[in-house]
């Protein structure tokens, strides 16, 4: 007998759950070798599944056999050597060519004979059949779980696996913090890196402890996965196919899509540092380059101390363009920002009148929502019917698997979005009116909050109201987002400047005063314009 080798293997996968550990296999096999007088073997070990070819240690074993360095193998069972036809065939062929003389197991001995090679094929075939059955059972279990709306495997960050009920629930320590991270991303004012830093350093967010880790700070990869995983809006993406989840969504489909748009635009931009209140939000009106900020210090002769000034200026990074724009001090810039905020600020009497009148609109909005809900339900049923028809076409081989998956994912995406819209609509109970109230309350209080707020608060507040900041000739031009642009336009009209309201008077004036009636209808049209703008462009408005 030539050189002898022990091969011991145990996979971390479920297929080897009942198999002895590698150390136990080695101990048992060494005792067997001594008892059988086989000599002192050298040992090869591997922790890898044998259901597919490509195991490094097994390949090394076969290389030694083919080179004539060993001709006898001792293993716990044949399925330790192979669970796939390629590796099993390699062993039988090596035996056929007389390079492999004997395979010993504590149960059997296999040599180069017709019967032994037949039984080897049988055992390798049974091992392969076991793996296939296990795989089929696992896939069937996964399909069942997905149909029930539950994601197989570990719950994403912010959720926990309920092992008793086999469901996925909120992580009480992390769910609300992760939702706050989404809010920061939706504001458009923070990079994922800045959000991760704030969550880790200020909110104390940590990874979940595991058997191998105590749970350190949240990683950049985890943050990216949070902002790109459909699970957070109620979907489950598994093997390239989107399924409807039964878990509690953290964000809406609309919010998820807006974050994907933000991430996409960010990937084409250099990250902006937020060291200054207005950095990263202005462009030069002459050359189109970014506007940056820097600190300057001036020595005060009267006190002998240095005073810090913040100046904003064009980066002048546009090739081939000589920009002539000068610097502007932050205090001067902020005065212009305050003037802009005054142009979108409504008075307290106006707020009282608007809130009172909005109360009378709730019945109309509920009826409108009822009709929208019926339309959504009809389209959802249509999506389900189309998925069913797609499956029939696939079964009849009228479309390819790739076409089926692509179209099904499109329909599932649409269906998930529609169901969330329907759910939001049914649970909103007049949220459109409430959102409109929030806009008016925000408009009335924005200037006060800005003047007393921190730089971070100022940026968040301006992010809700402003867009397209352009700095030219030391003048900043700011566009107001809807519906604040509607408010600004109205307040600049003669009607808006002279508007007067009597608190509690929310109806058409009874007296035959044409001026009062005209004023009332003008204000009412303005109110409806704001409501329309709210519905069209501020679904994600967070309010005060």
Peptide bond into 340 cis (omega under 30): no
CA dihedral over 419, 420, 426, 427, signed as positive or negative: positive
d(CA 354, CA 360): 10
Comparing CA positions, the residue from 231, 248, 77 lying closest to residue 162 is 248
Beta strands in 200-339 (DSSP E): 235-238, 241-244, 282-284, 291-299, 306-314, 328-329
Identify the pLDDT of residue 507.
43
- Pairing state between β 306-314 and 328-329: antiparallel
Backbone angles phi, psi at 257, to 5 degrees: -65, -40
Residues forming a β-bridge with 167:
162
d(CA 195, CA 186): 11
Which tokens hold the place of 115? Answer: 């019967």
- Core vs surface per residue 143-153: b (16+ CB within 10 A) or e: eebbeeebbee
pTM of the model: 0.43
Q: Which helix (H) or strand (E) holds 109?
A: strand 109-111
Which tokens hold the place of 335? Answer: 């005065």
Identify the pLDDT of residue 472.
93
Identify the pLDDT of residue 512.
47
In sequence order, the 6+-apart residues with CB closer than 8 A to the CB of 71 are 1, 2, 3, 65, 99, 100, 101, 102
Contact 74, 33 (CB under 8 A): yes
Q: Quickly list H helices, 396-454.
A: 401-428, 431-452
Contact 258, 183 (CB under 8 A): no
d(CA 450, CA 103): 81
- Pairing state between β 291-299 and 282-284: unpaired
d(CA 256, CA 539): 12
Peptide bond into 483 cis (omega under 30): yes
Tens digit of pLDDT at every position of the chain (544 positions): 568 889 998 886 655 666 678 888 888 888 888 888 888 788 999 988 888 888 899 999 999 999 888 889 999 888 888 888 888 889 999 999 999 989 999 888 999 898 888 888 888 888 787 777 776 666 776 777 878 888 888 889 999 998 888 899 999 989 999 998 998 888 776 788 889 988 888 888 888 887 767 778 888 889 999 999 999 999 888 877 788 888 999 998 888 988 888 888 665 555 444 468 888 788 999 999 989 999 888 877 777 788 888 999 999 888 888 999 999 999 999 999 999 999 988 888 878 877 777 766 666 667 777 788 888 888 888 988 888 888 888 888 888 888 888 888 888 888 888 887 777 766 655 556 667 777 888 888 889 989 888 887 888 888 878 878 999 999 999 988 877 888 888 788 776 666 555 444 444 444 445 555 556 666 667 767 766 766 555 444 555 4
In the chain, what's the furthest Cα-to-Cα distance?
119
């Amino acid at each position: 007998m030539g050189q002898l080798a022990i091969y011991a293997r145990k996979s971390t996968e479920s297929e080897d759950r009942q198999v002895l550990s590698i150390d136990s296999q080695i101990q048992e096999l060494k005792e067997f070798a001594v008892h059988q007088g086989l000599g002192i073997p050298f040992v090869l070990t591997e922790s890898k599944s044998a259901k597919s070819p490509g195991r490094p240690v097994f390949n090394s074993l076969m290389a030694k056999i083919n080179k004539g360095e060993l001709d006898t193998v001792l293993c716990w069972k044949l399925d330790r050597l192979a669970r796939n036809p390629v590796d099993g065939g390699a062993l039988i062929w090596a035996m056929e060519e007389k390079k492999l003389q004997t395979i010993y197991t504590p149960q059997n001995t296999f040599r180069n004979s017709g019967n032994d090679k037949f039984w080897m094929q049988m055992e390798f075939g049974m091992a392969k059949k076991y793996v296939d059955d296990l795989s089929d059972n696992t896939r069937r279990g996964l399909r069942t779980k997905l149909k029930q709306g539950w994601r197989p495997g570990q719950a994403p960050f912010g959720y926990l696996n309920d092992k008793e009920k086999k469901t996925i629930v909120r992580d009480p320590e992390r769910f609300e913090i992760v939702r706050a991270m989404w809010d920061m991303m939706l504001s458009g004012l923070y990079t994922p890196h800045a959000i991760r830093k704030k969550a880790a350093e200020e909110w104390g967010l940590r990874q979940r402890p595991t058997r191998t880790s105590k749970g350190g700070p949240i990683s950049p990869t985890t943050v990216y996965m949070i902002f790109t995983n459909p699970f957070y809006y109620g979907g489950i993406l598994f093997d390239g196919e989107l399924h409807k989840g039964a878990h509690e969504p953290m964000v809406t489909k609309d919010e998820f899509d807006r974050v994907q748009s933000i991430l996409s635009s960010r990937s084409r931009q250099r990250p902006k540092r937020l060291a200054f209140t207005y950095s990263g939000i202005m462009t030069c009106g002459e050359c189109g380059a970014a506007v940056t900020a820097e600190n300057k210090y001036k020595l005060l002769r009267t006190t002998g101390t240095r005073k810090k000034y913040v100046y904003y200026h064009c980066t002048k990074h546009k090739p081939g363009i000589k920009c002539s724009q000068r610097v502007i001090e932050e205090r001067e810039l902020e005065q212009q920002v305050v003037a802009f905020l005054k142009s979108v600020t409504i008075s307290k009497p106006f707020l009282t009148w608007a809130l009172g009148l909005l109360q009378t609109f709730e019945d109309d909005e509920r009826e409108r929502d009822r009709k929208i809900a019926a339309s959504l339900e009809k389209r959802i049923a249509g999506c389900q019917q189309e998925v069913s028809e797609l499956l029939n076409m696939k079964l009849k081989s009228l479309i390819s698997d790739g076409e089926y998956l692509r179209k099904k994912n499109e329909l599932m995406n649409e269906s998930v979005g529609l169901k969330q819209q329907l759910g939001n609509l049914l649970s909103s109970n007049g949220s459109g009116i409430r959102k409109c109230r929030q806009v008016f309350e925000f408009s009335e209080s924005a200037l006060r909050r800005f003047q007393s707020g921190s730089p971070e608060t100022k940026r968040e507040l301006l992010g809700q109201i402003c867009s397209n900041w352009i700095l030219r000739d030391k003048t900043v031009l700011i566009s107001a987002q809807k519906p604040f642009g509607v408010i600004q336009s109205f307040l600049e009209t003669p009607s808006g400047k002279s508007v007067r309201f009597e608190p509690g008077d929310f109806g058409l004036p009874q007296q035959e005063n044409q001026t009062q009636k005209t004023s009332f209808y003008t204000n009412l049209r303005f109110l409806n314009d704001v409501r329309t703008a709210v519905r069209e462009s501020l679904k994600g408005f967070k309010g005060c």
